[in-house]
Amino acid sequence: MSARFVYWMNVSLDLRIEHAVDEQGGGSWMRIGETLHREFNAQARAMTLSVEGRKIYETMETFWPAAAGDESLPDFLREYGQIWTSTPKLLVSRTRTSAQYNTRIVGGDDAIGELARIRAEGDGNIGVGGATLATQLLRAGLLDELLLFTHPVVLGSGRPLFDAPVEPVELDLIEQLSFERGVTMHRYAVRGAHS
């Protein structure tokens, strides 16, 4: 048995994850209400490990550790901060030399090879954050699932979900849910992921 890499992301209907450069998950086009955020919390809590690219990690570390204890925030946001800081994380970066919050850095020329070993030796779902990292895992045949939270907006431009995959990728729908404000969740298995 091996772990599964799950790329989870908020997306527009035209599969954009950012409209403006360096929006990093904070776009005004997203319709994130309490019910949806509680689903994020449940998904994050179920991950045995989180693997994040540098940009996503640095965005997360600037907000969520402080949010964990900020009594002015709603409980579901504080909860997510607690989940993020306590979940074991791998930061994939060639430039960072240190990180906090239960984080180990994976860098160098064979980061994908090291992630493949971690996947083979691990168990449970490993959350993947970041389009560059997810694209590399997809191209290596290591990405197992997509967990997409689709917001009812067409952005027309911006950062795509993947950096142009080399070949078409077939998916199988394994779960779908609806949330407030027209947001839907679709969970897909990636056909042909290496076991």
Confidence of residue 47 (pLDDT cuts 50, 70, 90): very high
The whole-number pLDDT of residue 23 equals: 66
Mean pLDDT of all residues in 38-47: 97
Written as one letter, the residue type at 23 is E
pLDDT, position 107: 85
**Residue ranges per structural domain of the chain:** 4-190
The residue among 51, 31, 23 whose CA lies nearest residue 153 is: 31
| pLDDT value, residue 109 | 78
Options 3.40.50.720, 1.10.10.10, 3.30.300.30, 3.40.430.10; CATH of 4-190: 3.40.430.10
Give 137's pLDDT tier (boundaries 50, 70, 90).
Answer: very high
What is the Cβ-side half-sphere exposure of residue 99, based on CA atoms within 13 angstroms? 27
Q: Contact at 8 Å (CB) between 158 and 20?
A: yes
131, 161 in Cβ contact below 8 A?
yes
Q: According to the model, what pLDDT value does residue 164 have?
A: 79
What is the DSSP pairing of strand 159-160 with strand 16-18?
antiparallel
The residue type found at 163 is: D
